[in-house]
Amino acid sequence: MKLTKLGNTIQVIDIIMYKSLKLNISLILIGILTACANVPTSLQQFTPEVSLKGFKLVKLGLLEQDYQLKLQLKNPNPIPIPITGLSYKLQINGQEFTTGSTDKTITIPANGKEFLEIDVASNLMSVIGEWKDFKSLLNRKFEYNLSGGVNVTGTSAAIPFNYKGDVSLLRD
């Protein structure tokens, strides 16, 4: 009879341990799911905002001109974003002006901004057809569309951007 009671006691202890283990596993899973819920799940949450903040004519040649583009990259996230390069396409007044890429690396601080300067060459004559005198060209504002993709460390695909605005050739 003692063996039977001992056997029942062991079964009760097994049941208590099983329920305790089940509760602990449930608590661990809840903790993991809560932690995962706080991690951004889409690239959209990490998307830096890219805009053209400077467009400077560096060298004026008859067939080709050199420019410096100053891009502003804003980070709306609470963590820094390491950028390993970007590709870009710049259109002015609806005409393709320049395309290219850079492998410059920068880190945009959390909730901050960083600037990236890119040297480009282009033939302004392809876009200039409608202008008669050079002085009005320098002072005139142009509509532009800047698009491309930002390469972020830890992602396999470039994060796309598209920004529209206006700019003058004399703007820094």
Query: Which residues have C-beta within 8 Å of that of residue 103, sequence separation ≥ 6?
Result: 84, 85
Task: Choose the weakest-confidence range: 37-41, 92-96, 117-121.
Answer: 37-41
Q: Where are the domains of the chain?
A: 1-39, 43-168
CB 163 within 8 A of CB 55: no
Is the pLDDT score of 135 beyond 80? no
Token pair listed for 123? 């033939």
Q: Which residue has the higher pLDDT, 6 or 39?
A: 6
Q: What is the amino acid identity at position 151?
A: N
Is the pLDDT score of 134 beyond 80? no
Is the torsion defined by CA of 27, 29, 31, 34 positive or negative? negative
pTM of the model: 0.64
The length of the chain is: 172
What's the rounded Cα separation, in Å, for the pair 58 and 172?
A: 11
**2.40.390.10, 3.30.360.10, 1.20.58.1290, 2.60.40.1820: CATH of 43-168:** 2.60.40.1820
Query: Of all residues in the chain, what percent carry a pLDDT higher than 70?
Result: 68
The winner for highest mean pLDDT among 4-8, 38-42, 143-147, 163-167 is 143-147
Distance of CA 8 to the CA centre of its chain: 63
pLDDT of residue 16: 73
Q: What is the amino acid identity at position 149?
A: G
Mean local confidence (pLDDT), 33-53: 65
Token pair listed for 61? 């040649």
